[in-house]
Amino acid sequence: MKAAWLLFAALGLAARGQAASPADPAVQVDFSNPGLSPPQWTLVLHSDGRGHFRSQMGRVPEGGLKEIEAPGVDRDIQVSAQFAGRVFSAAQRHNWFNDPCESHMKVAFQGWKTLTYTGPQGQGSCTFNYSKDKEIQNLGDSLIAVAETILEGARLEVLLQHDRLGLDQEMEFLTEAVGDGQAQQICAIREILERLAQDDGVLERVRMRARALLAHGST
pLDDT single digits (tens) 24-39: 999 999 999 999 999 9
What pLDDT is recorded for position 69? Answer: 72
What pLDDT is recorded for position 3? Answer: 40
Closest of 20, 73, 65, 39 to residue 189, by C-alpha: 73
What pLDDT is recorded for position 21? Answer: 54
**Mean pLDDT for the chain overall:** 88
Q: Read off the pLDDT band of 67 (50, 70, 90).
A: low
CA atoms within a 13 Å half-sphere pointing along the CA-CB vector of 213: 34
What pLDDT is recorded for position 10? Answer: 43
Residue 18 pLDDT more than 70?
no
Q: Judge residue 106's burial from the number of C-beta atoms within 10 Å of its C-beta, 0-12 exposed, 13-18 middle, 19 or more buried.
A: exposed
Average pLDDT for 99-112: 95
What pLDDT is recorded for position 7? Answer: 40
Could you give the number of structural domains in the chain?
Answer: 1
CA atoms within a 13 Å half-sphere pointing along the CA-CB vector of 188: 33
Helix, strand, or coil (residue 50): strand
Secondary-structure percent of the chain, ordered helix, strand, coil, rounded to 5:
45, 20, 35
CA 210 to CA 93: how far, in whole Å?
A: 37
Say how many C-beta atoms besides its own lie within 10 A of residue 142's C-beta: 18
Closest of 31, 72, 32, 74 to residue 54, by C-alpha: 74
Average pLDDT for 203-207: 98
Q: What percent of the chain has pLDDT over 90?
A: 79
Q: Yes or no: say if 209 and 198 are a contact pair by the CB < 8 Å rule.
A: no
Question: Residue 58 contacts by C-beta under 8 Å, 6 or more apart in sequence?
Answer: 36, 37, 38, 39, 69
What pLDDT is recorded for position 68? Answer: 63
What pLDDT is recorded for position 71? Answer: 81
Query: Which ranges in the chain belong to alpha helices (H)?
Result: 2-15, 81-93, 134-162, 167-179, 190-197, 204-216
Q: Residue 54's beta-bridge partner residues?
A: 42, 74
Residue 6 domain boundaries: 2-216
Residue 107 Rama label (left phi>0; alpha psi -120 to 50; beta): beta
Residue 23 pLDDT more than 90?
no
What pLDDT is recorded for position 202? Answer: 97
Residue 180 pLDDT more than 70?
yes
Average pLDDT for 74-84: 97
Q: Read off the pLDDT band of 204 (50, 70, 90).
A: very high
CA atoms within a 13 Å half-sphere pointing along the CA-CB vector of 19: 5
CA atoms within a 13 Å half-sphere pointing along the CA-CB vector of 125: 19
What pLDDT is recorded for position 58? Answer: 61
What pLDDT is recorded for position 22? Answer: 56
